[in-house]
């Protein structure tokens, strides 16, 4: 078992449009939810 669990974040390039930043956040949030689900299920 790992002692540290973390989700990935997408590194949004700068400058970014508002829509690109929002999509990047949605992607990071999906990864976070999947990571938490996998952690809880183990």
Task: Give the CA distances from residue 11 to residues 1, 2, 17, 38, 41, in Å, rounded to whole numbers and listed in that order.
Answer: 27, 24, 14, 23, 27
The answer to whether the beta carbons of residues 20 and 12 sit under 8 Å apart is: yes
Q: pLDDT of 5-35, one tens digit each?
A: 777 888 898 999 999 999 999 999 999 999 8
Q: Which two tokens stand for residue 30?
A: 């999906």
Residue 4 has pLDDT above 80, yes or no: no
Q: Residue 6: what pLDDT?
A: 78
Q: Residue 7: what pLDDT?
A: 79
Residue 1 has pLDDT above 70, yes or no: no
Q: Residue 35: what pLDDT?
A: 87
- Rounded-to-10 torsion of CA 8, 11, 17, 23: -10
* Nearest Cα to Cα of residue 10 among 29, 34, 36: 29
The domain segmentation of the chain, as residue ranges, is: 14-42
């Amino acid at each position: 078992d790992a002692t540290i669990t973390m989700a990935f974040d997408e590194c949004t390039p700068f400058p970014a449009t508002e829509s690109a930043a929002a999509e990047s956040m949605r992607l990071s949030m999906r990864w976070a939810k999947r990571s938490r689900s996998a952690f809880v299920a183990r």
